[in-house]
């Protein structure tokens, strides 16, 4: 009987030892795992190489592209532009990356932005007065979207980089009179979105005709429109839109004004190129 009770007591003690010792062991393992994680040096390849299939070379290395003027940059067809814009609408997440393939460098992107604005101002799509003062420190970053529903469904944490034309530069240019946020296609250098806040109180709201701004931008894009322009104007808000390229794309212009003592002055211009609601097919 004593031996049995002794064994029973030993069994209970052993249980407690297993419980306590197990925790100590687990804690030690956790700490060891954590220490290994915290002391590791991780080398992360830049997303540049991820876009280049193994064994293939870029047709136009970045250095060569740096010398190609903007007007000689490759053009995208309306269908391609539609596909890119549609994908941008579906994907919610953004990743910054280095330029690769045929993409513009930062310098080129800023130059493309400035040149584009100048071109639009020359044509009368933008008040020339806005560009009289030089731009202060510009800022730009290159990014590509990801996280479209199809990618989310496949549970891919971070899919491979897409074609270079799916990237965009966001360029911010500011001077005394305006602040412009521009989205520029990373390959063509074209402005596809321009959101301009006007600080100057000198520009009358009526100085710009929204319909003509639309038309000038179509010219800037190098496209033709044969469809009727839709225009809406009410108080300090004007809106115009048109379909381009046989219905592939939709271009819209918003203009807002602020009432001042001198009357309604232009406060904002937004120009946006959008897909016309077709099914997205990624450019291969």
**Interface ranges with other proteins (CB under 8 A):** 4, 7-8, 10-12, 14-16, 18-19, 22-23, 25-27, 29-30, 33-34, 37-46, 48-49, 95-98, 106-107, 110, 137-142
> Smaller CB distance to other proteins: residue 137 or 228?
137
Burial class (CB in 10 A: 0-12, 13-18, 19+), 195: middle
Q: Residue 220 is inside which H or E element, if any?
A: helix 210-221
**Geometric angle at alpha carbon 21, from 15 and 27, rounded to 5°:** 140
> Smaller CB distance to other proteins: residue 93 or 227?
93
Question: The tokens 């549609």 sit on which residue?
Answer: 86
| Shortest Å distance, C-beta 204 to other proteins | 32
In whole angstroms, what is the distance from residue 72 CA to residue 56 CA?
24
| Shortest Å distance, C-beta 280 to other proteins | 25
> Smaller CB distance to other proteins: residue 95 or 124?
95
> Smaller CB distance to other proteins: residue 96 or 128?
96
| Shortest Å distance, C-beta 104 to other proteins | 13
Whether the CB-CB separation of 218 and 234 falls below 8 Å is answered with no
> Smaller CB distance to other proteins: residue 16 or 54?
16
| Shortest Å distance, C-beta 273 to other proteins | 24
- 272 — phi, psi (to 5°)? -140, 130
| Shortest Å distance, C-beta 168 to other proteins | 13
Beta bridge partners of 252: 241, 272
Beta bridge partners of 96: 143
Start-to-end CA distance of the chain, whole Å, equals: 82
């Amino acid at each position: 009987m004593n031996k049995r009770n002794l064994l029973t007591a030993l069994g209970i003690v052993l249980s407690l030892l297993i419980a306590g010792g197990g925790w100590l062991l687990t804690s030690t393992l956790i700490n060891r795992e954590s220490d290994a994680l915290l002391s590791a040096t991780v080398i992360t390849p830049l997303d540049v190489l991820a876009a280049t299939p193994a064994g293939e070379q870029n047709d136009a290395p970045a250095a060569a592209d740096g010398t190609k003027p903007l007007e000689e940059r490759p053009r995208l067809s309306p269908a391609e532009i539609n596909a890119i814009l549609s994908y941008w609408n579906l994907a919610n997440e953004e990743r910054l990356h280095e330029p690769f393939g045929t993409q513009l460098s930062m310098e080129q992107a800023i130059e493309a932005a400035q040149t584009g604005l100048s071109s639009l101002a020359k044509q009368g799509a933008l008040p020339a007065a806005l560009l009289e003062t030089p731009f202060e420190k510009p800022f730009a970053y290159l990014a590509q979207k990801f996280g479209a529903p199809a990618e989310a469904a496949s549970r891919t944490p971070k899919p491979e980089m897409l074609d270079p034309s799916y990237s965009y530069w966001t360029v911010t240019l500011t001077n005394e009179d305006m602040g412009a946020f521009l989205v520029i296609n990373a390959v063509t250098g074209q402005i596809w979105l321009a959101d301009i806040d006007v600080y100057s109180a000198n520009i009358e709201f009526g100085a710009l005709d929204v319909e003509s701004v639309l038309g000038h931008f179509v010219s800037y894009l190098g496209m033709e429109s044969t469809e009727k322009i839709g225009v809406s104007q009410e108080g300090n808000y004007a809106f115009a839109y048109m379909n381009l390229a046989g219905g592939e794309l939709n271009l819209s212009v918003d203009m807002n004004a602020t009432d001042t003592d001198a009357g309604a002055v232009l406060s904002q211009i937004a120009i946006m190129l959008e897909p016309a609601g077709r099914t997205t097919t990624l450019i291969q």
